[in-house]
Amino acid sequence: DAGVIQSPRHEVTEMGQEVTLRCKPISGHDYLFWYRQTMMRGLELLIYFNNNVPIDDSGMPEDRFSAKMPNASFSTLKIQPSEPRDSAVYFCASSIAAGGPNNEQFFGPGTRLTVL
């Protein structure tokens, strides 16, 4: 298995532009998570999906952020318009079950976003 796949790995954009981050979870995993990581705040959960349905988006910072999961093998995180404070590493993770001993989340390599 290739693991969680994210693209692009690096993104540099200018303030005000739309940014779309992409994620392909591990096949068979029914949970998908989007995280943001910064030096100051560490890892923060933005939103997670179960069977393609958004379950908890309370971590989404504001309306400029949106996430979709049109099918079991693809999800996007969109920022429109982007701002310099959105600069961070964005991780996608997937897991088989939400709780219990098999709840390990497998993380992708991340997308490093820089907004100038």
Partner 1 sequence: KNQVEQSPQSLIILEGKNCTLQCNYTVSPFSNLRWYKQDTGRGPVSLTIMTFSENTKSNGRYTATLDADTKQSSLHITASQLSDSASYICVVRAGFQKLVFGTGTRLLVSP
Q: Which residues here bind partner 1, judged by CB under 8 A?
A: 4, 41-45, 55-56, 91, 93, 98-99, 101, 103-105, 107-110
Q: How far is the CB of 18 from partner 1 (least distance, A)?
A: 24
Structure tokens at 64: 């400029």
Q: How far is the CB of 49 from partner 1 (least distance, A)?
A: 12
Q: In angstroms, what is the C-alpha Rg of the chain?
A: 13
Q: How far is the CB of 55 from partner 1 (least distance, A)?
A: 8
State the burial class of residue 92 (Cβ atoms within 10 Å of its Cβ: 0-12, 13-18, 19+): buried
Nearer to partner 1, 74 or 107 (CB): 107
Any bridge partners for residue 10, and if so which?
112
Nearest to 92, CA basis, from 5, 1, 28: 5
